[in-house]
């Protein structure tokens, strides 16, 4: 019998944090918010209001791209941590820096593994792998945001952490290069049936 792993508790100064999700109703952000809420943290979700926000969270509605609206909506909101799941335009993270520099304990920028050089120079990919994906503007924008934020960390000590998710899934979304919103892909795998693989599995952009 394997020994049961002891549950690690948070230090007292990290328990019950106020966490602001910039986008908290998507595939991975909704799951992260639910887990953090379960662990006793206060969850604030900033969104455009197009998706339902659990009543146990605090919902703030504003257009992420409207600087004036964002400043007004966040007036008086003092989160300990900000998790940005939506940023890929440089102007957006620059606005975040203006709003949160010196005001939060941690700013987490959700990037993506698509930022790495394609085709990869070697596998498996690690955090030290070079970035630079010439095939997708989304990846190039993520790299620009990453580099700008890291520059602010070097210059001012801005407490930024980069996270680069790869294959993600949730209770309502299965990774699928053909139809991401459908469980057909997973069902066919379970049944041993053929599945579509675009570009013979050699797609370079993603």
Decide if 3 is inside a domain.
no
110 and 200 inside one domain: no
Number of C-beta neighbours around residue 176 at 10 A: 17
Band of pLDDT at residue 97, cut at 50, 70 and 90:
very high
179 and 169 inside one domain: no
The range of the structural domain enclosing residue 82 comes to 14-173
Decide if 1 is inside a domain.
no
Residue with the bigger pLDDT between 168 and 11: it is 168
Global pTM? 0.81
152 and 204 inside one domain: no
- For position 205, what pLDDT does the model report? 47
**Total tally of structural domains belonging to the chain:** 2
Decide if 7 is inside a domain.
no
The residue among 193, 187, 191, 192 whose CA lies nearest residue 174 is 187
Q: In angstroms, rounded to a whole number, what is the distance separating the alpha carbons of residues 7 and 130? A: 36
204 and 151 inside one domain: no
Burial of 145 (0-12, 13-18, 19+ CB in 10 A): buried
21 and 92 inside one domain: yes
Tokens 């989304």 correspond to 138
């Amino acid at each position: 019998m394997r020994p049961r792993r002891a549950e690690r508790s948070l230090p007292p100064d990290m328990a019950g944090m106020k966490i602001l999700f910039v986008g908290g109703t998507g595939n991975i952000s909704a799951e992260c918010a639910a887990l953090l809420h379960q662990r006793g943290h206060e969850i604030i979700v900033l969104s455009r209001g197009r998706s339902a926000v659990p009543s146990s969270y605090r919902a703030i509605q504003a257009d992420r791209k409207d600087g004036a609206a964002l400043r007004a909506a966040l007036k008086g909101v003092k989160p300990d941590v900000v998790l940005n799941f939506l940023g890929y335009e440089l102007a957006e993270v620059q606005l975040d820096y203006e709003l949160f520099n010196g005001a939060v304990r941690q700013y987490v920028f959700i990037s993506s593994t698509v930022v790495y050089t394609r085709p990869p120079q070697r596998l498996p990919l690690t955090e030290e792998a070079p970035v630079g994906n010439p095939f997708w503007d989304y990846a190039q924008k993520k790299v620009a945001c990453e580099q700008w934020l890291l520059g602010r960390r070097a210059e001012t000590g801005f407490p930024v952490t980069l996270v680069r998710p790869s294959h993600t899934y949730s209770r309502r979304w299965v990774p699928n290069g053909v139809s991401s919103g459908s469980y057909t892909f997973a069902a066919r795998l379970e049944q041993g049936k053929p599945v579509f693989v675009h570009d013979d599995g050699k797609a370079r952009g993603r």
